[in-house]
Chain A
Amino acid sequence: MNNGIKIGVPLLIVVALAAIAWIGTDAFHLDMLFGVIIPYIALALFIVGFVIRIIKWARSAVPFRIPTTCGQEKSMPWVKQAKLDNPSSSAGVVGRMLLEVLCFRSLFRNSKAKKDGDKLSFGSAKWLWLFALAFHWSMLIIVFRHLRLFFEPVPAIVTGVEVVDSAFQIGLPIIYITDVLFVGAVTFLFLRRVVLPQVRYISLQNDFFPLFLLLGIGISGVVMRYFFRIDIVAVKELTMSLVAFQPVIPENVGPILYVHLFLVSVLLIYFPWSKLMHAPGIFLSPTRNMANNNRAVRHVNPWNYPVKVHSYEEYEEEYGEKMKRVGLPLDSETNAG
């Protein structure tokens, strides 16, 4: 597909979404729609969609034990087993999953093939791992920090995270480290898809759309905090009223808040039906969440149905008489009738 279309269209969609929220609240005063109704609908659709996708996955058959093995499997006592890369016990599987989910261990193995003279060589390529890790952890911390808008009094752990996140005390409002990391990492992940020709070739619109959407959310949040400096007390008034199901639209908040909120709502609606579902999907990966004990334990496919068989004994009982007549040998003469 033409690069202009596959990058340009998702970008235009995100810009249009932001513009809709800005114009809708600034010119048409649809604050109730963008501040209350759409966020509620988005959250409901997120939960319903999320659960539906999980149920679909949970119902699909996993007939075979197919863990990917990335090290020495459990063998003789004097052979050292790679317990995390080729786990044979549940504890090993949990350890492997934790490394995968928290540290992106399989991305760490990302390698780059290149031609070295006549030879093909593989080098380490850690950039994707590094920025993916920076992005996901920043996002988690940013989402967690937002809890200050949903609790009164604010739990101490949220305050603690916030203090650490703003430890540099640069500027006022103080710059959050994760804000910088988030926007930087998403930008990198976008540039990676554009700059590397092979990655650009396999990238699709639904790879670019979530990137632009996340970038839009990040930028609108950053702009709102550091440049517009909208009234945070009014924002909390709105969020607290939303979680108490007694929505109040505050004054003194600009359209930028609704742009941010609308893009987040779009993300919530889009999430369950997109590749972003890799978040719960990682836990359901049959190649990761099973122990490799195929040689120690017999695994019968639980989806096997009872197969109808017609054994030779039954065959001979049925046709023994005819077989005898044409002179075919029989296992048991009693079948000759």
Chain B
Amino acid sequence: MSAELRARVLAAATAEPSPTRAAVRRRNMLIGMVAAASGIGAFVIFAVLMSESHLLRLGGEVVPQQRLERPVWLVVATVGGALGVAATAVWLALGRGRSMLGRSPRWLLYGGVLIPVSLLVWKVSCSLAIGDAMVAWPERPGERCLSLSLLVAVGPLLSFLAIRRHAPVQPALNGAAIGFAAGACAWVAADLWCPVAYVPHLLLGHVLPLFVLAGAGALLGRTLLSLRHR
């Protein structure tokens, strides 16, 4: 090992200041706030444009003389459960356990299966308690919920990628996990806004965006989290 090489490496490190742990923590907190603000902002803009500023929708006329209603306690239950799953998804995607290399591929794959399944099962099982929310709403196949979810999730997706930054191993899989986490956060907004619990609607409007975001996260993760692009 030459002293010249050692001096060169140390000089290169000195020439390029890097943030300490405290600085990274502050930066991540700021990015987290930006993620929350962008998600809430997108949700409010969407609600203003699409439903006369109704952030919380409790029902409506499905077909003439048939109404769909959901009680407030059902909203609290479904949104509360979705928040729990979203928090778990964010913990899974952004936390790295006790290793600098992040969670094992197995954990990330389990997350990719369990997050959409648990969100869907929770929503359906809560809605089964009242039959009305499960009826089909022909005018609402789910495309509006799809766009709401994607719109709300864009900010969190990019912010989570900025927080994660490095993934020397499996960048695409880590990116997909981040996509699922952003999608789970968007599910909360969609759940607040949309009273429909008809399963085909849920699959198109609520579950599909999770997979679209996971795909986008995988592509972005491969590009942004991979070391070769630094």
**Are A and B part of the same complex?**
no
Which chain A residues have a beta carbon within 8 Å of chain B's beta carbons? none
